[in-house]
Structure 1
Amino acid sequence: MPVMRTLRSLWAWFSITLLILIWLPLLALVRLVDRDPAHYHTGRWFRQLGAAMTRVNPFWDVVLEGERIEDPRRPYVVVCNHQSNVDIPVISRLPWDMKWVAKAELFRVPFVGWMMRLADDIPVDRGEKSSRARVLIRAREVLEKRCSVMFFPEGTRSRDGRVYAFNDGAFRLAIKAGVPVLPLAIEGTFDALPKHSWRFGDPRTIRLKVLPPVATDGLGAGDTAALRDRVRQMIVEQIAAWRGVPVEAVDALARDEMTAEVKESIKN
């Protein structure tokens, strides 16, 4: 019922806001005593906020599946498809920290943006080419400090539930740094909080799966596209398995058209 959905949404947002107000001063204290070069413990504490958000929300049942990462300080370039803002707290349920590459606008949001800065997340100005180069330099520094880096390689949230074309940056970084790519697949968040809506969707199960790491040993710059497409295909196939239907493949021509659509949506 629409009324119940509205009431549940109000309750969820109230709980989330309360958590944020409590978490910020605690996170600042953790940062003061965190001597790790990557501020790993500060980041881990911040991700716990996201995990807590998923637990107080009455709409979501989060199921974690897949590979177990034995060493949380082994650095990976982590990539995931992007369906909704809900992806962020759901992925925060994973039991290790990683620095997130996120659009610069989020770092200007009161409270949340302040915490992202405390956690040493990495801002990217999507309209500025030089920003992308700075992001890759900073991300490599994070990897050298034995902390993973998280990308949404589509560059924006899906508007129709499909997996859009992946940008190359995360895969170039993995090859240059000589670290594996760790693919994640997420399903169920697209309708959990539709784009440009404050009301949550009906109660649902959200699935997040850690797929097998993809090694980059022996790869060079010329292998970037093949690595990108291989990882994207792994994610697409997992989503197809969950849905029980084929996920539309995006060929080279459609990829260019989709990329143009994504760039236009960013401008808007």
Structure 2
Amino acid sequence: MTSEPVDDTATTTAPAQTPKRAGFTYAAGRFVISALARLIYRPRIEGRENVPLHGPVIFASNHLSFIDSLAIPVAAPRPVHFLAKSTYFEGTGVKGWISRTFFESIGAIPVRRGAGQAALDALDQQRQLLDDGFAVALYPEGTRSTDGRLYKGRTGVAFLALQSGAPVVPVGLIGTDKAMPVGAKMPSLSARITVRFGEPLDLSRHGAANSGRARRLATDEIMAAIHALSEQELANAYNEVPAHGAIEKIKQALPHERR
């Protein structure tokens, strides 16, 4: 499986299904997946005491592998929700049921991809989850690192934190790229994974969400905290999806705020 839940740069054209509580599928799935993960990978989990057990929380993590979206819910001491492409939930037959049940069991919420409002619509879905007191997980880099380096953060996570007032818990994942490298069909059973939760960050001192400077400063603080936990080499660049066509290449070359 090489697809991954939607990151903070994803787009959506339909509202997400906001969970009212962690249901049976999530509870049962989390129990089973956690037991298997602990048995197979013997993960080192550090800093669980840093995670607030109640109220809205944003987990901001480095992103190395598809299974990052398994590692965080398994290690966290409370339910965690992700936005995931709605196609994972819309399949038919046995394969569709397996996909739907799996993503529900890891706390994924379906959203539809589209154009137009782009990242703002996805952020609205996550804001709804936070307003309801849930925890959400996001990847500020926007997409997985294929070379193991930590890339510059995009400002969507900071925007969400400043707008909602939710604390940000930085997360450093180590070894998930060895457990399931990008492009791998099946995970390795010999890798050892470490999940580190840092102390919650109150980013409100940077200013309002509508300030570009505040978003940039808050993003840089988040990424510095992730770097301290993950100990990755810094790329000092954005992890850009390869541009297709002349217009997209020009857009990437021009200075702009990476949301």
TM-score normalised by length of structure 1: 0.69
> What do the CA deviations read for 1:27-80 (whole angstroms, capped 9, x no partner)?
xxxxxxxxx9622344444433432341353xx220100141464222111111
CA distance in 2, matches of 1:70, 1:186: 15
For 1:204, what is the secondary structure of its paired residue? coil
Using the aligned pairs only, state the percent identity. Answer: 24
Q: Per the alignment, do residues 235 and 71 of structure 1 end up closer, same or farther by CA in structure 2, a change over 3 Å counting?
A: closer
User: What is the aligned counterpart of 1:54 among 34, 37, 50?
Assistant: 37
My pick for the range that moved more, 173-182 or 90-99, is 90-99
Of structures 1 and 2, the one scoring higher in RCO (CA 8 A, sep 6+) is 2
Q: Per the alignment, do residues 165 and 200 of structure 1 end up closer, same or farther by CA in structure 2, a change over 3 Å counting?
A: same
CA distance in 2, matches of 1:129, 1:123: 18
My pick for the range that moved more, 89-98 or 205-214, is 89-98
Structure with the higher helix share, 1 or 2: 1
Deviation of 1:106 after TM superposition, in Å, equals 3.4
Aligned: 1:113 with 2:100: yes
**1:220 equivalent in structure 2:** 208
**2:81 equivalent in structure 1:** 99
**1:148 equivalent in structure 2:** 135
My pick for the range that moved more, 67-76 or 163-172, is 67-76
User: What is the aligned counterpart of 2:228 among 220, 237, 243?
Assistant: 237
User: What is the aligned counterpart of 1:84 among 65, 74, 85?
Assistant: 65
TM-score normalised by length of structure 2: 0.72
Structure 2 contact 58–137 (Cα < 8 Å) conserved: yes
What is the alpha-carbon root mean square deviation over aligned residues? 3.0
Matches within 5 A, 1:1-268: 38-42=20-24, 43-57=26-40, 60-69=41-50, 71-93=52-74, 94-108=76-90, 110=96, 111-116=98-103, 121-124=108-111, 128-201=115-188, 203-218=190-205, 219-221=207-209, 222=211, 223-240=214-231, 247-250=233-236, 254-255=237-238, 258-261=239-242
**1:24 equivalent in structure 2:** none
CA distance in 1, matches of 2:127, 2:235: 31
Q: In structure 1, give the amino acid aligned to 2:54.
A: R
Q: Per the alignment, do residues 126 and 156 of structure 1 end up closer, same or farther by CA in structure 2, a change over 3 Å counting?
A: farther
Runs (4 or more) in structure 1 with deviation over 4 Å come to: 117-120, 124-127
CA distance in 2, matches of 1:69, 1:41: 25
**Structure 2 unaligned residues grouped into runs of 5+:** 2-17, 249-259
